[in-house]
Amino acid sequence: MPIDVTSAVPAAPARSLRNDIRVISLVSIAHLISHFNIMLLPPLLPLIKADLGVTYEALGFAVTILNLVNLATQTPIGFLVDRLGARNLLIAGLLVGGIATAAVGLVQSYWLFMLMFGILGLSNSVYHPADYSILSGTVAPQRMGRAFAAHNFMGYVGFALGPPVMLTASALWGWRGAFAFAGLFSIAVGLLLVLQGGALRADRLAASGAASGAAKPAEPVNGTRVLTSTPVLLALLFYVFLALGTQGVNAFLVVALQMMYGTPIEYGSAALSGFLGAAALGVAAGGILADRTRHHDRVAAAGLFTTILMVLTVANVDLGNILLVVVMSVAGMLFGAINPSRDMLVRSITPPGQSGKVFAFVTTGFTIGGIIVPPIFGRIIDHGDPHWIFWISAAALVCAIVARPRRRSSADA
């Protein structure tokens, strides 16, 4: 039986711009930590391998464990966010994650090393449900698109900061000291949220669906029924297809270009950096657009369609080094611009008081895609068929257009 969503997530109480900026800043810094933590291991792999005396394959399982634990626990954490409130769970995630990260630098056993990454995966499962619940429950609706944009942008910043910060810290204090530094960074942000937590006080109110001016559901909403409703399941598929459409290109673009066109590694890397950097800028522009339109599904479709065209152009035409970088940068800009509208679409199909579990559930699509992509695309590269990287990515983005959520209410999202 379909869910009757007569209103979007409840509108936040009227709040000042100053308070909104404070909330957005705190939540976005926490999101930076989430993405920063994902990049802790890759730059230090050679140092850790030599110290622990294990293989790269064995160390790679640490990332697998992190992702699997995150996938298994994120939706249950979303239920807790809606029941208990997001603020305290977000703080707990930062503190527990910080302790686990610092402990990585202390352990001497490979199995304890793996255990710490499992705990880190658990702590990372808090961020998406807690962040989106707080933003939806506290930020004024007319600024929600820019709030989601800032949140996404800081995630990109976290990805970008991870490698240089960890390499610099390891040069100063060794790889163990680098992990201790990263752990203290997370703990410091957690303590900042403890001190500034008053700005997030409305998250329990939003979770209960009783925010000022909120339209209440006609009957109590069953959380499991929410997650198995058609709009939410389509949103999950939407996120899975987005991951399939981009993560393969991110991981294998450089080698695929080299195999297809003999593109030098430096230009292939520049094309990848252009895509990722422009995507971050696109997120910022997309936030402004999301606040100025009600047609978020059309924005998502248009951005994805033009991204598809550029991906297929790269797959079939040798553009030369400079034009390749330009085209991939424009593709990144267009793809990044849909992110705030993407989040607004999910918010528009979310019943009051269900933000934590819905965002937790649908954003596991990124993790699912991240688990599926590497072995499939790696096999394609091993078989010498790099063009299929782009064709499959384009097909996945077409599927994302089809699966994208549609607004179910005329109320402001």
> H/E/C letters for each residue in the chain?
CCCCCCCCCCCCCCCCHHHHHHHHHHHHHHHHHHHHHHCCCHHHHHHHHHHHCCCHHHHHHHHHHHHHHHHHHHHHHHHHHHHHCHHHHHHHHHHHHHHHHHHHCCCCCHHHHHHHHHHHHHHHCCHHHHHHHHHHHHCCHHHHHHHHHHHHHHHHHHHHHHHHHHHHHHHHHHHHHHHHHHHHHHHHHHHHHHHCHHHHCCHHHHHHCCCCCCCCCCCCCCHHHHHCCHHHHHHHHHHHHHHHHHHHHHHHHHHHHHHHHCCCHHHHHHHHHHHHHHHHHHHHHHHHHHHHCCCHHHHHHHHHHHHHHHHHHHHHCCCCHHHHHHHHHHHHHHHHHCHHHHHHHHHHCCCCCCHHHHHHHHHHHHHHHHHHHHHHHHHHHHCCCCHHHHHHHHHHHHHHHHHCCCCCCCCCC
pLDDT recorded at residue 327: 92
Residue 412 counted as domain residue: no
The Cα 156–Cα 295 span in angstroms is: 25
The Cα 58–Cα 64 span in angstroms is: 10
- On whether the CB atoms of residues 327 and 390 are closer than 8 A, the answer is no
CA angle 120, 149, 398 (to 5 degrees): 90
291 lies in the same domain as 197: no
Burial class (CB in 10 A: 0-12, 13-18, 19+), 213: exposed
Cα dihedral value 84, 90, 96, 98, nearest 10: -170
What is the number of domains present in the chain? 2
Domain boundary among 184, 208, 232: 208
CATH number (domain holding residue 254): 1.20.1250.20
Q: Could you report the average pLDDT of every consecutive run of 10 residues in the chain (413 residues)?
A: 40 64 91 89 84 83 86 90 88 95 91 93 91 86 87 86 87 93 95 82 46 44 78 90 83 83 86 84 86 82 90 90 91 88 84 83 86 79 84 92 69 39
251 lies in the same domain as 387: yes
Residue 368 counted as domain residue: yes
pLDDT recorded at residue 222: 66
pLDDT recorded at residue 407: 59
35 lies in the same domain as 134: yes
Name the residue among 374, 371, 276 with its Cα closest to residue 332.
276
pLDDT recorded at residue 343: 84
Domain boundary among 208, 237, 262: 208
The whole domain housing 349 covers 223-403
184 lies in the same domain as 36: yes
Domain boundary among 141, 175, 208: 208
370 lies in the same domain as 279: yes
Half-sphere exposure of 105 (CA within 13 A, CB side): 21
The Cα 254–Cα 314 span in angstroms is: 12
pTM for this entry: 0.80
134 lies in the same domain as 161: yes
- On whether the CB atoms of residues 300 and 290 are closer than 8 A, the answer is no
Spatial CB neighbours of 341, under 8 Å, sequence gap ≥ 6: 145, 286, 289, 290, 293, 296, 297, 299, 300, 303
142 lies in the same domain as 279: no
The Cα 7–Cα 322 span in angstroms is: 48
181 lies in the same domain as 232: no
Residue 408 counted as domain residue: no
Six token digits for residue 254: 């450089």
270 lies in the same domain as 200: no
47 lies in the same domain as 184: yes
32 lies in the same domain as 100: yes
